[in-house]
Amino acid sequence: MIVIMRDGAAVKEISGVIRSVESAGGQAHVLNSGQRVVIGVNGPGIETTSKQLGALAGVREVVTSPPPFQLASRLFNPDDTVIKVGKVAIGGGTFTIIAGPCSIESEEQLMKTAEAVKTGGGDMLRGGAFKPRTSPYAFQGLGLKGLKLLAQAGQAFDIPVVTEVLDTRDVSWVSEYTDVIQIGARNMQNFSLLKEVGKTNKPILLKRGMLSTIEEWLNCAEYILNGGNTHVILCERGIRTFETYTRNTLDISAVPAAKELSHLPVIVDPSHATGKISLIGPTSLASVAAGANGLTVEVHCNPKEALSDKDQALTPAQFSDLSIKVRALYKFMSTQADNANDQP
């Protein structure tokens, strides 16, 4: 249920609603955008209080059947959410490029790749220290050693870092080394993990599960938002279909669909979506055209030697070429949008 307050509602009217919700055993999530105050309400049986809430001072409207992902929905927040990560913003009027190796392998590999990301136009550095591998015999990541290297590279190149967490027991200490926590496709519906990262105030990059619908994905974002963490970035990374030529099938329509349904920023991972270097450029450009707020792409200083995902890692030169092209397209599209807005 969503309670929409009247414009200019008084603080005591807002707290009156929160008190009523809490005394009925519910939870209230307040979104105050300056002009508009909206309160997301949930809890068992709370719907029965809708009439009472509607009668409270300062309440304009009570929406009794919002989508199940109410806090993630456009109904709750019609404006695009912009997530700040240090000096970098994701969402709104910027295009954000996250890049780096699939796995952190060594100091030399990470430092060289980080330099390539920074000089090649990347805004954030990614790298896995805990790797969800199909085979238990494949490289599993460097763990703590990798996290320390990632934090070191982030500091050396003054660039925020992103890394995946696989286990609820690791969330609090992993957060100390990273600026953004990634929840991978395989863990999208690991509800314990979602609840755990919902307790942190780190931005969460939530990848779409390879077998998940858009609605399931948004419900997973809701778990994090409901935990009190409002910084969620959605990432489309391809889904499983009957196609085998590509590693997954990039669901390009999921980008505008998720943005239509949700205020959260949406980025695309063309590396895991395609699994092929030759397809990363075209799908990245398609992502810009579809309205994505950014990309996360795998880059390695020496892809042939990569310990994971070597067929989908760009070289530094390929990466800087890609970032020039996607930024040019993004700029062109923004100019077109500005021109259209200027029409009488």
To ligand PEP, the closest distance from the beta carbon of 68 in angstroms equals: 24
**Which tokens in the block code for residue 206?**
């939530």
Which of the listed partners (Mn ion, ligand PEP, none) does 122 bind, with a CB threshold of 5 to 8 Å by partner kind? none
| Binding stretches for ligand PEP (CB under 6 A) | 102, 128, 132, 184-186, 207, 237, 269, 272
To ligand PEP, the closest distance from the beta carbon of 132 in angstroms equals: 6
Nearer to ligand PEP, 128 or 154 (CB): 128
- Cα 325 to its chain centre, rounded Å, is 23
Nearer to ligand PEP, 70 or 178 (CB): 178
To Mn ion, the closest distance from the beta carbon of 312 in angstroms equals: 7
Cα distance between residue 11 and residue 343, in whole Å: 40
Which of the listed partners (ligand PEP, Mn ion, none) does 207 bind, with a CB threshold of 5 to 8 Å by partner kind? ligand PEP
Number of residues written out for the chain: 344
To ligand PEP, the closest distance from the beta carbon of 63 in angstroms equals: 33
Asked whether the CA dihedral 216, 218, 222, 225 is positive or negative, the reply is: positive
For tokens 């309440």, name the residue: 59
Which of the listed partners (Mn ion, ligand PEP, none) does 198 bind, with a CB threshold of 5 to 8 Å by partner kind? none
To ligand PEP, the closest distance from the beta carbon of 273 in angstroms equals: 8
Output the DSSP codes for 176-213. TT-SEEEE-GGGTT-HHHHHHHHTS-S-EEEEPPTT--
Which of the listed partners (ligand PEP, Mn ion, none) does 174 bind, with a CB threshold of 5 to 8 Å by partner kind? none
Q: Are 314 and 283 in contact (CB under 8 A)?
A: no
Q: Are 167 and 130 in contact (CB under 8 A)?
A: yes
Nearer to ligand PEP, 17 or 124 (CB): 124
Question: What is Dmax (Cα atoms) for the chain?
Answer: 66
Nearer to ligand PEP, 14 or 180 (CB): 180
Nearer to ligand PEP, 118 or 272 (CB): 272
Closest residue to ligand PEP, Cβ-based? 184
Nearer to ligand PEP, 42 or 274 (CB): 274
Q: Are 292 and 266 in contact (CB under 8 A)?
A: yes
**Which tokens in the block code for residue 311?**
């067929």
Which of the listed partners (Mn ion, ligand PEP, none) does 83 bind, with a CB threshold of 5 to 8 Å by partner kind? none
Which of the listed partners (Mn ion, ligand PEP, none) does 237 bind, with a CB threshold of 5 to 8 Å by partner kind? ligand PEP
**Which tokens in the block code for residue 186?**
């395989």
Beta-ladder partners of 42: 27
Which of the listed partners (Mn ion, ligand PEP, none) does 132 bind, with a CB threshold of 5 to 8 Å by partner kind? ligand PEP
**Torsion angle, CA of 245/248/249/252, rounded to 10 degrees?**
-140
To Mn ion, the closest distance from the beta carbon of 26 in angstroms equals: 41
Kind and range of the H or E element at 37? strand 37-42
Nearer to Mn ion, 102 or 114 (CB): 102
| Binding stretches for Mn ion (CB under 5 A) | 102, 309
**Which tokens in the block code for residue 133?**
């591998």
To ligand PEP, the closest distance from the beta carbon of 201 in angstroms equals: 22
Cα distance between residue 95 and residue 285, in whole Å: 12
Beta-ladder partners of 205: 182, 233
